[in-house]
Amino acid sequence: MATIKPSVPKGTRDFSPSEMVKRNYIFDTIKSVFRKFGYQEIQTPSMENLNTLTGKYGDEGDKLIFKILNSGDYLAKVKPEKLSPDNSNGLISEISEKALRYDLTVPFARYVVMHQNEISFPFKRFQIQPVWRADRPQRGRYREFYQCDADVVGSESLLNEAEFVLIYNEALSKFGLKDFTIKINNRKILSGIAEIIGKPELIVDMTVAIDKLDKIGLDGVVKELVERGFTETDIEKLKPVILLEGSNEEKLESLKGVLQTSETGLKGVAEIETIFNYVSALNAEILSSNRRLELDITLARGLNYYTGAIFEVKTNEVAMGSIGGGGRYDDLTGMFGLKNLTGAGISFGADRIYDVLEELKLFPESAEETTKVLISNFDPEAEAYALPVLQQLRAEGIAAELYPSSAKLKKQMGYADGKNIPYVILIGSDEIQSGELSLKDMKSGEQQKLRIEEIIKKVKH
RNA sequence: GUAGGUAUAGCUCAGUUGGUUAGAGCAUCAGAUUGUGGUUCUGAGGGUCGUCGGUUCGAGCCCGAUUACUUACCCCA
């Protein structure tokens, strides 16, 4: 058999030990904050029934779902006329009935509907699992990546939104990030604006265009608005809103003026004010610190199922896209037959956070240590002597290993070095006779003879 | 879907107007050093130059096709 060049599928990655230490640090930190705010963890299968997923993400999204080919002779029952080259879409349902999950929100909605009798609402769940998208990979964008979602269903209270702000603030602060901005907007404000200019049906086109303001500038946005069917007069009305500046309070005040004839728009403004009030009562520092929480009218996010608050989080210390986002969506579970259940949720972009922490060198050093002690292996006699020592160390909760063969000491030391092991115990005939083992500190290079009890004490600290 | 870029040792990459036997660093292994790593020195192994075809006396280099990877756009996290 010809050997094949080993590789992983496009857009996927291996995670080596040193990366896993850091990734787990990120996941554990986020989890601890989620738990602290009362969210409980669930997991759902990697694959869902295809019909659970199709139609939930729009036409573009459906194309990006990884379908799983049926097992067995999957073409046997397909009628020959369905096999024509222009019938790929029609064929999918015949040869595929399962697909990899595309996000965590739809499987969660499915979960809520299926388990509604066991769940007491409001239900606060978090979920950290990989999702798959058949997208074209590029920088910071993968075909397999992890989402860290926290959602609450069955609670309309804006306290939830306020707590999301606190969660972002606490988690990102724990990572050591100092300068980040939690941007907030409200879908109802955007609806109101579309209403005021008399084009409510074009709200999605409007949001997609103005969302790009900081990327393509005002001229670019205007150009895109024209392409999407807005007139010059529409745009003149839009401009002052898009370019709104000042403090959160000032923005809210001017919005109240602009939106005074739009009931929906004013409701959005009121919601934002309520959220700010909650945040201020919970942690006044967030509102007082510069730019930490910012009302941004141009924030739209592509997802058009948001109905209330919209969040996006960016770090200002590194040039990087958003590292988190979320919002409120009414009727999450309607598509599965459970009506009138509102939900709100947020997500952390773990892969991007990883890149940010790496660039700012914010990973704690302790996260890099693995084995604490390596016992060298001189010969069978020393090995036999070392076995109970090894067990003793482990019984004390010390990560320890015995080099598995009596290789040259140089190789054993090199092993400890490459694995970043801070201590090596050397056991030879002298040590066996005296019962005092040589403990070498790999950082300082110092070595001393100690009894096992003393070693445990020293290594444990 | 649209438009670029790249493909040479396990990894990162050099490779002159096309010219003999294709190189470096890192990594690996061995030795200097039979009880001591990270530094140093010496040596070794490791290549169908992505694949197929074309031009040429001669191709890693030029041309065409193909595949893989990659970057940007659309969209998204």
What pLDDT does A1 receive? 41
Helix axes A263-282, A187-196, angle to 10 degrees: 150
Q: Which nucleotides of B are covered by protein (CB under 7 A)?
A: 1-2, 28-31, 33, 35-38, 68-77
What pLDDT does A85 receive? 67
Q: Could you give the angle at the alpha carbon of A87 between the alpha carbons of A85 and A88, nearest 5°?
A: 90
Secondary structure element (H or E) that encloses residue A130, with its range: strand A123-132
| DSSP classification of residue A379 | S
Instruction: Categorise residue A72: left if φ over 0, alpha if ψ from -120 to 50, beta otherwise.
Output: left
pLDDT in tens, chain A (461 residues): 445 667 788 888 888 887 888 899 999 999 999 999 999 999 999 999 999 998 888 788 888 999 998 888 888 878 777 777 667 777 788 888 999 999 999 999 999 999 999 999 999 999 999 999 998 888 888 899 999 999 999 999 999 999 999 999 999 999 999 999 999 999 999 999 989 888 888 888 888 888 888 777 788 888 888 888 888 888 888 888 888 888 899 999 999 998 999 999 999 999 999 999 999 999 988 888 767 999 998 888 755 678 899 999 988 888 777 889 999 988 888 888 898 899 999 999 998 898 888 888 888 876 566 789 999 999 999 999 999 999 999 999 999 999 988 888 999 999 998 888 999 999 999 999 999 999 999 988 899 999 999 999 999 87
Q: Which nucleotide comes closest to A302 if you measure CA to C1'? A: B76
Q: Which nucleotide comes closest to A352 if you measure CA to C1'? A: B77
Burial class from Cβ neighbours inside 10 Å (0-12, 13-18, 19+) for residue A148 reads buried
| DSSP classification of residue A70 | P
CA of A120 to C1' of B75 (A): 37
Give the Cα separation of A248 and A165 in Å (integer). Answer: 15
Q: How far is CA A386 from CA A361, A410, A423, in A?
A: 39, 19, 15
A335 touches strand B (CB under 7 A): no
ipTM of this predicted structure? 0.82
Number of Cβ atoms within 10 Å of the Cβ of A62: 18
A6 touches strand B (CB under 7 A): no
Q: Which amino acid is at A302?
A: G
CA of A444 to C1' of B39 (A): 14
Burial class from Cβ neighbours inside 10 Å (0-12, 13-18, 19+) for residue A335 reads middle
Q: Which amino acid is at A88?
A: S
CB A152 within 8 A of CB A160: yes
Nearest to A298 by CA among A307, A310, A306: A310
